[in-house]
Amino acid sequence: MDVFFAYIDPGSGSLMIQAIIAGIIAAPLFFRHKISRFVRAIRGTENGSVKAGPGPDDSGSRD
Amino acid sequence: MTREAETSPGPSAADTPEARARRDAGSYRDPAGFVFRRDGIVYRQIGIGFAEEWEHYTGSGLYDRMAAAGVVIAHEEVGLELAAEPPASRVIRPEQLETISYPYEWSFSQLKDAALHTLRAQALAAEGGMTLRDASTYNIQFLRGRPVLIDSLSFERAKPGQPWIAYRQFCEHFLAPLALMARVDIRLGSLLRSHIDGIPLDLAARLLPSRTKLTFGLGPHVHLHARAQRQHAAADPTAETRRANPMSAAKLATLIESLRSTIDGLSWDPEGTEWADYADNTSYDDLATRAKEEAVSVALAGAGGARAWDLGANTGRYSRIAADQGYSVVALDIDPAAVERNYRSVRREGRTDILPLLADLTDPSPPLGWGSAERKGLIERIDADVILALALVHHLAISNNVPLAMIAGLFARLAPHAVVEWVPKEDAMVKRLLASREDIFPNYTVEGFREAFDRDFEVVTETPIEHSDRILFRLRRRT
């Protein structure tokens, strides 16, 4: 971390927790993607004609 | 400045370019540069140490994209001889703002829009290989009705694996107050006035309902975040950061998107507060309202000038009359619901000439921060050519016991022209104010009003408002 440019105190805890929070948030997305792929595979609609599952924009993380 | 310079003939030290420039009292935290004022114009000086970041920001085309999208304030580069405190690597003149407002004067949606705007700036910066190095509410101002990032030095090149430096500041400045306003009480927005560095997350976590711990947004970003701050309070950030899991670009994007959807999910609807229905619910019938609109329009046309401050603007009915006449208007009101409604209308109509702000005239925002000069008081920021005070004086005089002469004295400090509505005791609205208290206001008469205002103002026109018992005064300050 460049000390000069970080003129605000970023907070140790705030730095530490970010990657963990991003991981927690990303996990359901990841699994949702896996599940939807699995469901499509079972239904046999994997080959292109059906719209893809949730993309990266669809975070599903509404409070 | 030395004594010799003071007394020597010819150009004195006070005339040198450096001496005529004054650094803004609120611009001292960031070593990358600072804001100063010279001959009434605001400039920003960029330090030598920040030159490389600046060249990347402007040279990569990122600034052009951001300015074109209205995300950052536009600027032009000026000569280095204008620098306030050489050496400087650059000096820029940003587009000049008419009014500076602070987050504790914004309605819920203004603060929310400012938060989303800040996240948009970070997302655009990330696309250009840079990152937002601070996320202060004070870096956002309202220009032509919309939020804009005014700190031109907010971007630095992103370093691979580095977490978001401004995450804590964003949560304390934006997320915590918005969550408290939406989930606990709208009036908690005033905590921003007592915490100019943002609302501590442990405080926000204590005040929020405990069920928010289980929600997808506030759970991690406020509750878990506050816990992590407590656990790592004594840790060395450099060492801790090195040990922390690296923050990939994808993870950073996920974090920002999660903050965006969390903020987006917070809402507050203006119902049931003091004045929200006032405009639709006054003693006025349509005829009287139309007569008042006409009288206000005529009075404003006579007053002239470019800047109008509408005091007690409610949802902005008369602010619009002023704006339609070409005034640039600031519409103050004490009620968060009225300001919220006004802002939503301004946004929906795409208006660029009305800025709604939350303010209590009996307790206007004081000067705050270092030396009581970092954030200016509201009264100091009022630069009106004309003030509108419609259906206001009776609230100040009767609800707040302010003597009429003191009201005149305040108005005279604010502007050379005033358009003031007199509402007599016989009026239903005044009767309502007096219903629950003793009438200790023998001087609250139109004669008493004339007498009280006579020391500071002369009456230019006096127009009875048809179909009502009210009078509209156009006043000119005595010189």
**Strand, helix or coil at B266?**
coil
Evaluated on CA atoms B201, B225, A19, B111, the torsion sign reads: negative
How sure is the predictor about B27, in pLDDT bands with cuts at 50, 70 and 90? very high
Is there a contact between A50 and A20 (Cβ–Cβ < 8 Å)?
Answer: no
Q: To the nearest whole angstrom, how far is the Cα of A51 from the nearest Cα of chain B?
A: 23
Nearest to A22 among B50, B166, B255 (CB): B255
- Token pair listed for B310: 């509408």
Q: In this structure, what DSSP letter does residue B398 have? A: I
Beta-bridge partners for B477: B457
Four-point Cα dihedral B374, B378, B384, B390, nearest 10? 170
Q: What is the pLDDT of residue A31?
A: 66
Give the largest Cα separation in chain A, rounded. Answer: 56
Q: A59 and B264 in contact by Cβ < 8 A?
A: no
Nearest chain A residue to B170 by CA distance is A10
Q: What is the pLDDT of residue B247?
A: 87
**Strand, helix or coil at B105?**
helix
* Percent residues over pLDDT 90 in chain B: 85
Mean pLDDT on B6-13: 43
Q: To the nearest whole angstrom, how far is the Cα of A42 from the nearest Cα of chain B?
A: 29
Mean pLDDT of chain B: 92
- Token pair listed for B236: 């060395």
**CA angle, residues A25, A31, A37, in degrees to nearest 5:** 140
Is the pLDDT reported for residue A57 higher than 80?
no
Is the pLDDT reported for residue B305 higher than 70?
yes
More confident residue, B237 or B200: B200
Residue (of B271, B400, B294) closest to B344 by Cα position: B271
Could you give the CA distance from residue B313 to residue B387 in angstroms, rounded to a whole number? 11
Mean pLDDT on B101-116: 98
Q: In this structure, what DSSP letter does residue B134 have? A: -
| pLDDT tens profile B249-279 | 999 999 999 999 999 999 999 875 555 455 5
- Distance, C-alpha B201 to centroid of its chain: 23
CA distances from B323 to B236, B286, B309, B354 (A): 54, 22, 11, 7
The answer for residues whose C-beta is within 8 angstroms of residue B428's C-beta and 6 or more apart is B283
More confident residue, B153 or A27: B153
Q: In this structure, what DSSP letter does residue B161 have? A: B
Is the pLDDT reported for residue B20 higher than 90?
no
Is there a contact between B164 and B122 (Cβ–Cβ < 8 Å)?
Answer: yes
Is there a contact between B225 and A14 (Cβ–Cβ < 8 Å)?
Answer: yes
* Percent residues over pLDDT 70 in chain B: 91
How sure is the predictor about A53, in pLDDT bands with cuts at 50, 70 and 90? very low
- Scanning the structure block, which residue is given the tokens 């003071």? B6
Q: To the nearest whole angstrom, how far is the Cα of A33 from the nearest Cα of chain B?
A: 15
How sure is the predictor about A23, in pLDDT bands with cuts at 50, 70 and 90? confident
Q: What is the pLDDT of residue B242?
A: 58
Q: Which amino acid is present at B18?
A: E
How sure is the predictor about B194, in pLDDT bands with cuts at 50, 70 and 90? very high
Q: Kind and range of the H or E element at B366?
A: none
| pLDDT tens profile B383-416 | 999 999 999 999 999 999 999 999 999 999 999 9
Q: Which amino acid is present at B79?
A: G
Mean pLDDT on B54-61: 95
How sure is the predictor about B240, in pLDDT bands with cuts at 50, 70 and 90? low
Residue B273 gets the label, from left (phi > 0), alpha (psi -120 to 50) or beta, of beta
Mean pLDDT on B98-110: 97
How sure is the predictor about B10, in pLDDT bands with cuts at 50, 70 and 90? very low
Could you give the CA distance from residue B179 to residue B266 in angstroms, rounded to a whole number? 7
How sure is the predictor about B16, in pLDDT bands with cuts at 50, 70 and 90? low
CA distances from B94 to B66, B82, B91, B186, B425 (A): 14, 14, 10, 34, 50
Nearest to B215 among A5, A23, A63 (CB): A63
How sure is the predictor about A41, in pLDDT bands with cuts at 50, 70 and 90? confident
How sure is the predictor about B184, in pLDDT bands with cuts at 50, 70 and 90? very high
Q: B251 and A19 in contact by Cβ < 8 A?
A: yes
Interface test with A, best of B139, B167, B236, B267 (most A CBs within 10 A): B167
- Distance, C-alpha B419 to centroid of its chain: 24
Q: B236 and A8 in contact by Cβ < 8 A?
A: no
- Token pair listed for B254: 């996920």
Could you give the CA distance from residue B354 to residue B276 in angstroms, rounded to a whole number? 19
Contacts with B132 from chain A: Cβ below 8 Å:
none
Nearest to A7 among B31, B159, B253 (CB): B31
What burial class does residue B243 get, using C-beta atoms within 10 Å of its C-beta: 0-12 exposed, 13-18 middle, 19+ buried? Answer: exposed
Indicate the range of A10-19, B98-107, B355-364 predicted with least confidence: A10-19
Long-range interactions of B190-193: CB distance < 8 A, separation 24+: B190/B104, B192/B102, B192/B103, B192/B104, B192/B137, B193/B104, B193/B365, B193/B368
Is there a contact between B135 and A7 (Cβ–Cβ < 8 Å)?
Answer: no
How sure is the predictor about B427, in pLDDT bands with cuts at 50, 70 and 90? very high
In our burial notation (b when 16+ CB lie closer than 10 A, e otherwise), range B117-141 reads: bbbbbbbbbbebebbbbbbbbbbbb
How sure is the predictor about B14, in pLDDT bands with cuts at 50, 70 and 90? low
**Strand, helix or coil at B227?**
helix
- Token pair listed for B315: 């949802």
- Token pair listed for B185: 């009480």
Could you give the CA distance from residue B389 to residue B420 in angstroms, rounded to a whole number? 5
Q: What is the pLDDT of residue A3?
A: 42
| pLDDT tens profile B280-303 | 555 557 899 999 999 999 999 999
Q: B254 and A26 in contact by Cβ < 8 A?
A: yes
| pLDDT tens profile B326-345 | 999 999 999 999 999 999 99
Indicate the range of B8-17, B40-49, B159-168 predicted with least confidence: B8-17
More confident residue, B156 or A30: B156
Q: What is the pLDDT of residue A45?
A: 57
What size, in residues, is chain B? Answer: 479
Nearest to B241 among A15, A22, A24 (CB): A15
Contacts with B264 from chain A: Cβ below 8 Å:
62
- Distance, C-alpha B246 to centroid of its chain: 37
Where does B81-235 show beta strands of DSSP type E?
Answer: 90-94, 130-132, 140-143, 146-149, 155-157
Q: What is the pLDDT of residue B298?
A: 97
| pLDDT tens profile B214-229 | 999 999 999 999 999 9
Nearest to A18 among B167, B257, B264 (CB): B167
Q: To the nearest whole angstrom, how far is the Cα of A29 from the nearest Cα of chain B?
A: 10
How sure is the predictor about B233, in pLDDT bands with cuts at 50, 70 and 90? confident
- Scanning the structure block, which residue is given the tokens 């702000």? B357
| pLDDT tens profile B121-161 | 999 999 999 999 999 999 999 999 999 999 999 999 999 88
Q: Which amino acid is present at B429?
A: M
How sure is the predictor about B187, in pLDDT bands with cuts at 50, 70 and 90? very high
Q: What is the pLDDT of residue B40?
A: 92
Sheet bearing B21-23, strands edge to edge: B21-23, B33-38, B41-46, B90-94, B75-78
